[in-house]
Chain A
Amino acid sequence: MLPTNASSNASLVNIKCSINGAELEVKPGTTIIQAMQDNAQKIAHYCWHPGLSIAGVCRLCMVEIAGNPKVQIACNTVVTEGMKINNTSEKVKDAVKWGLDFHLINHPLDCPICDQAGECGLQDQYMEYGKYTSEMAEKKQKKQKVVDLGPTVVLDSERCILCSRCTRFTDEVSKTHELGIFNRGDHAEIGTHDGKQLDNKYSLNTVDICPVGALTSKDFRFKQRVWYLKESATICNGCSTGCNVNVYFNKEGLFRVKPKYNSEVNGYWMCDEGRTIYKFVNKEARLLKAKQYKDNSWQTEIPAGTAAKEVAQLLKTAQPEEVALVLTGQNTLEEYEALLATFVTTFKTKNIYHWWPQVAQAKDFDGLLLRGDKNPNTNGLLQTFEKFGINTEWPNLEQNLKSGKIKQLVVIGPENLTVYDDLKQKISLFLQAEHLIYVSSVKIAELESREESLEQSLEQSRETLKTVTLLPMKSYIEKAGTFVNYKGLAQTFKKVTTLVSEALTGTELAKLFAGESLKLEVLKAADLLTAVSSTRKDQVTLEHSKKNEFVFNRGRL
């Protein structure tokens, strides 16, 4: 129906309603469940997801509307003028309790071995509305367990409550249509069509939106119980989209990455590629200490600060035109500014180059989130280059290295090596300098290992090459900063945790290279107190979980 002038005017006026006694104004067309979510009212639900269409199959979001003889589902009822909504009455609680009982008829008691335990919708609702013993006399319907759905996801049919979120995701968001619900009644189960696999670039979102433990991620499966992990928000550095993500970590490192809602960037989703970003941040992949190649042998286990100060001595004695810096789009805006300021003002050089392997594919876009430029901060780097008036071409660097013009080469290497397939080639180019200072957060097998290829390339450049210094750098998880994404949106993120305490940030390196020393930031007692009190704000307010310090607000649906 096309709106006439009068009705379109009317639709601009907010609608008044009351939810649980609180008077609210909502936009026309808002469903009750949306109104409740927006106003921090608790409501039980499984099948409704703000990023998907409305299915109305779980029958759990029951609300009582004044003047209506029966309870209604909140997800598919639009708020009308003067509506009086209530979901705390005994009638609603009873309806939810019975709805839950039907969901649990065939649900196995798998919680001890289920990965979802601790952030499970069923557990949460059961603690809130249930706490009864089942009244079913029949045995539970047994279904398939550990079904291999594809390269990333494992299905447990028994645990599935058929909310259809995952099938709607593959239909509406990824548009790959792999999943469907097969059979009828209590034989109904999720599955893929014959011979097909759940294999798309966004498949792991189905695991996130699964309210129970039916879909689990192969990568995270059985690695950790979720209550051992802390969660912290940051930006994905997998590509130039800059999706907002939550990373889950403990003292051993990061274990998984989940999307965080941001309407301007990624909505509710993220790609599977971005979920592997934690792998190069963890300690196993990291460069822990500085290393130096000098007089034909490697010296390892050098403290990073000492090595950086040695580099500062080396750079101090060099002529401005002999010094060069190579940057990638994988560092923060603050680091670029500090490094460029040091090189432009202290070393008086403008030999600063941009290492960008995806320059040809930079504009590629898959239509949903994935972009061809695999650097989170290319725009930030280009902005900083503009600010400092740097306009250099990569072939110049190659030429100057070959002719021996550039003698001291500082390379701030990439974190995510999987997208730098030209690494080997580039390193053999860098080795043509007299002194190579390679700063990297991850181990560089090409430089460190005594493979033949390295020996060969060292052999070739032995006449000119004098030292190679490898400096450990903090990964982006360990520092605060700003990424500027593909459309110029600057997103600031906080430090998540420290994994390699000795590693240095780009800002610290810039200071050390310039010959300054680092100062320890001293927090005031008052700041510390506010920091502590603000860390516990995300605790669930449910009575049962108040007592358990491990339960945070991560199980929210």
Chain B
Amino acid sequence: MSVITKENKNMWYLPGILTGLGITLKHLVKNLLNKKKMITLNYPEEKYEYSDRFKGNHILTVKKDGAIRCTACMLCATNCPADCITIIASEHPDAHVEKYPINYEIDMLRCVFCGYCEEACPVDAIRLGPEWQTPGLNGANFIYDINHLAYRSQLKGGVQSVVDDEDRNKAGI
């Protein structure tokens, strides 16, 4: 590596630096005088409130009877750009349900929260919820399974899907 030394005698950078320091000083004084208008938050004591449409952790919705809504069509997994969804499908004992996932896993560390899975789903089985603070220590399980995605305690028994088998049957679809 070679170091190029160049004698630079002009000092024109000084006005720029001084202006910058002036702006910093101005904000410091402003914030000290009016704390309410300060932009930074004291996380984690203070939390930012995102809108309900925020794309956070996934939720698998449930049907009226509490069973999982997902039909294991794998369109979400097909559409997923991060390849983080793994589904294993199986035959359901009820012939009208026919197919359901016996295993549905999302690798949260791979997920980019793009919401394409939600868009691809034909039966409103997967949604991105507002929940976003899910830290974990080293070794925490970031591969969420059906139990977590559909029935975690925060969801209070599961979020109901807007597309229900019974309604669809009645409508003759």
Given A108-B173, A222-B90, A146-B95 contact (CB < 8 Å)? yes
Q: Lowest 8 CB-CB distances: which A-B pairs, in order?
A: A139-B172, A112-B73, A113-B99, A146-B95, A222-B89, A145-B95, A140-B172, A225-B74
**Chain B residues, CB < 8 A from A145:** 95-96, 98
A222-B173 in contact (CB<8A) = no
Binding site for B on A (CB under 8 A): 108-113, 117, 138-140, 142, 144-146, 221-223, 225, 227-228, 550
B20 at interface, CB cutoff 8 A: no
Residues of A within 8 A of B95 (CB): 144-146
Q: Which residue of B lies closest to A110 (CB)?
A: B98
Q: Is the CB of A113 within 8 A of B71?
A: yes
Instruction: List the B residue with the shortest CB-CB distance to A136.
Output: B172
Please indicate the chain A residues that have their CB under 8 angstroms from the CB of B98 in the complex.
110, 113, 145-146
Q: Quick one: which of B96, B122, B172 contacts A112, CB cutoff 8 A?
A: B122
Per-position binary interface string of chain B over residues 56-99, scored 1 when its CB falls under 8 Å from any chain A CB and 0 otherwise = 00000000000000011111001000000000011100011011
Alpha-carbon gap, A189 to B71, bound state (A): 26
How many Cβ-Cβ contacts under 8 Å join chain A to chain B?
A: 44
- Which residues from A are CB-within-8-Å of B123? 112
Q: A interface, by DSSP: helix, strand, loop or mixed?
A: loop
- A145-B98, A222-B90, A225-B73 given; 13 more Cβ-contact pairs under 8 Å: A109-B173, A111-B122, A112-B122, A113-B71, A117-B73, A140-B172, A142-B169, A146-B91, A222-B72, A222-B89, A222-B91, A227-B78, A550-B78
Closest chain B residue to A221, Cβ basis = B91
**Alpha-carbon gap, A225 to B77, bound state (A):** 11
With A112-B75, A113-B72, A227-B78: A222-B99 Cβ-Cβ less than 8 Å: yes
Provide the bound-state CA to CA distance between A146 and B90, in Å: 13
Specify which chain A residues have a CB less than 8 angstroms from the CB of B74 in the assembled complex: 225, 228
A140 to B96, CA, bound (A): 15
Please, which residue of chain A has its CB at the minimum distance from the CB of B101?
Answer: A222
CA distance A140 to B123 in the complex (A): 19
Interface residues on B, range: 10 to 19
Q: Which residue of A lies closest to B171 (CB)?
A: A139
- 16 of the cross-chain contacts (CB-CB < 8 Å) are A109-B173, A111-B73, A112-B71, A113-B99, A139-B172, A142-B169, A145-B96, A146-B91, A146-B95, A146-B98, A221-B91, A222-B72, A222-B90, A222-B91, A225-B78, A227-B78
List B contacts of A146 (CB < 8 A): 91, 95, 98
* Nearest CB of chain B from residue A362's CB, rounded to whole Å: 40
Q: Contact check: which of A140, A144, A225 meets B173 at CB < 8 Å?
A: A140
Query: How far apart are B29's CB and chain A's nearest CB, in angstroms?
Result: 57
A145 to B90, CA, bound (A): 16
Q: How far is the CA of A30 from the CA of B89 in the complex (A)?
A: 45
Q: Which residues of chain B have C-beta atoms less than 8 A from A112's C-beta?
A: 71, 73, 75, 122-123
- Which residues of A lie under 8 Å from residue B96 when comparing CB positions? 145
A contact residues around B73 at 8 Å (CB): 111-113, 117, 225
Those of B89-126 within 8 Å (CB) of chain A: 89-91, 95-96, 98-99, 122-123
A252, chain B: closest CB distance, angstroms: 12
Q: How far is the CB of A455 from chain B (nearest CB, A)?
A: 38
**CA distance in complex: A139, B74 (Å):** 28
Given the complex, which residues of B lie within 8 Å of A111, measured CB to CB? 73, 122
Enumerate chain B residues within 8 angstroms of A550, measured Cβ to Cβ: 78
| Bound-complex Cα distance A110 to B172 (A) | 12
In the bound complex, residues from chain A placing their C-beta under 8 Å from that of B89 are 222-223
